[in-house]
Amino acid sequence: MNKDLLEQNIIDYLNGELSGDITAFENMINSDKAASQLLEEYRSLYHTIQHSSDATPPEALDQNFNDFLQQEIKITTDKNPKFGINGVIGKTTLFLILIGIGLYIGTQLNNQPEALPLQNYAYDNTHDPGQSKMLQLLDAPTISNRIKAVNMSTYIDNAGDDIIQALSKTLLTDKSDHVRLAAVEALGNFADEPGVRSTFLVAIDKEKDETVLIALINLLTSIKEKEAIQSFDKIIQNKKSLNFVKDEAYSGKLKLTETY
Amino acid sequence: MIDPRQKIEKSECEKMLHQALNNLPEDQREVIWLTRFEKMKYADVAKVFECTESAIKVRVHRAMKKLKTEYLQLERL
């Protein structure tokens, strides 16, 4: 195998995109010192990329997304002129500030057990061509853009299963705690939909970030989800839980116990 | 607890990586970002750029080779 082809195969292999017999490829690499060396060089580079913490996306990607987002906003506002573009952007900006103070969001949710505030701005999504595109944006490359996409999803009234599933997936799997936090609030608007409560229960059991945990505790308390008591107990008994999270869980447990 | 030396080494590696990335053309940085940082599949990246999966594959190969070359050069300095 020539070096060019070998490098291509190594890149595909490390990207999980190598087609064909992977075991044969690994055997070939192991039996060839130069090939092993080349693989190690790429592996080291991939390792650095994987553990790189402060990388920022290329400007063009950000710009493309923002252009696209503006188009989507325009489509929405054209359908509902009374909800002006400035209002949407203003609320998006406000939301981005709010995610920095997750405790505050949690408290707000807790204080508004029945509230679905963003639905006031809802529009009929049944014929909205932008909805499927917005779902794609939930997988956007940058954290801030994924947050924007999550925030946009909360403006949809009577969201379909696809929106709820996408938000649930984001809550359970997104790498960024900021995005997951945004997903908690967004999904909170659909708490009465089937499966959403159980998503919160799964999320609280696997969540590690304290801010997201607090938001989940407050949300589950506000929607009076009795089954959350078990999860709250786990947090309270976990020696690794931080005190303020334990306090919040304990407070939530008391409220839910009083409710029932 | 992370060993301070490991932390410094990690930070140096990251600096070199970012410098190497900055030395790449924009289109190559984009495919690296999407495939490596965001772990998108070639097929999904192809949808983003509205081109074929094969075209993305070629772009990724070129970009990664160039990134490795740039990174190794910085490492040797």
Query: Complex ipTM, two decimals?
Result: 0.83
B14 lies within 8 A of chain A by CB: yes
Q: Which of A26, A50, A74 is the last residue of a domain?
A: A50
**pLDDT for A53:** 58
Closest in B26, B37, B60 to A15, CB measured = B60
Percent pLDDT > 90 in chain B is 30
**Chain B closest CA to A57's CA: distance in Å?**
6
Contacts with A156 (C-beta within 8 Å, 6 or more apart), sequence order: A122, A123, A125, A128, A131, A163
Question: One digit per residue, pLDDT tens: chain A, 260 residues?
Answer: 788 899 999 999 998 888 888 899 999 999 999 999 999 989 988 888 877 755 566 666 666 655 656 666 566 555 554 444 455 555 656 566 666 666 565 555 555 444 333 333 343 444 455 566 667 778 877 777 788 788 777 666 666 778 888 888 888 888 888 888 888 888 888 888 878 888 899 899 989 888 888 889 989 999 888 889 999 998 998 888 888 888 889 888 888 887 55
**pLDDT for A56:** 62
Q: Is the confidence at residue B58, as pLDDT, over 50?
A: yes
Domain holding A221: CATH number? 1.25.10.10
pLDDT confidence band for B55 (50 / 70 / 90): very high
Contacts with A227 (C-beta within 8 Å, 6 or more apart), sequence order: A197, A201
d(CA A27, CA A230) in angstroms, rounded, equals: 49
pLDDT confidence band for B69 (50 / 70 / 90): very high
Enumerate the domain spans of chain B. 24-76
pLDDT tens digits, one per residue of A126-135: 445 556 666 7
Contacts with A24 (C-beta within 8 Å, 6 or more apart), sequence order: none
Residues A250 and A229 in one domain: yes
The third-level CATH classification (topology) of the domain covering B24-76 is Arc Repressor Mutant, subunit A (1.10.10)
Contacts with A180 (C-beta within 8 Å, 6 or more apart), sequence order: A170, A171, A174, A203, A207, A209, A212
d(CA A195, CA A198) in angstroms, rounded, equals: 5
Residues A116 and A224 in one domain: yes
pLDDT tens digits, one per residue of A208-238: 888 888 889 989 999 888 889 999 998 998 8
Average pLDDT over residues B31-35: 88
Cβ pairs A/B, distance under 8 A: 70
Phi, psi at residue A156, to the nearest 5°?
A: -95, 125
Contacts with A245 (C-beta within 8 Å, 6 or more apart), sequence order: A210, A213, A214, A217, A235
Q: Tell me whether residue A95 is in a domain.
A: yes
**pLDDT for A151:** 79
- Quote the mean pLDDT of chain B: 85
Residues A46 and A73 in one domain: no
Domain that holds residue A157: 60-259
**pLDDT for A113:** 44
**Contact flag A48-B72 (C-beta cutoff 8 Å):** no
d(CA A201, CA A61) in angstroms, rounded, equals: 35
| Chain A: residue whose CA lies nearest to B35 | A15
Provide the number of structural domains found in chain A. Answer: 2
Residues A97 and A174 in one domain: yes
**Chain B closest CA to A174's CA: distance in Å?**
10
Q: Is the confidence at residue B9, as pLDDT, over 80?
A: no
- Tell me which chain A residues have a C-beta less than 8 angstroms from the C-beta of B60: 11, 15
Q: Tell me whether residue A55 is in a domain.
A: no
Query: Nearest CA to A216 among A186, A176, A173?
Result: A186
Q: Is the confidence at residue B52, as pLDDT, over 70?
A: yes
d(CA B36, CA B21) in angstroms, rounded, equals: 12
Residues A35 and A86 in one domain: no
Q: Are A221 and A240 in contact (CB under 8 A)?
A: no
Which residue did the predictor score with more confidence, B64 or A20? B64
Contacts with B10 (C-beta within 8 Å, 6 or more apart), sequence order: A51
- Tell me which chain A residues have a C-beta less than 8 angstroms from the C-beta of B18: 52, 54-55
**pLDDT for A122:** 40
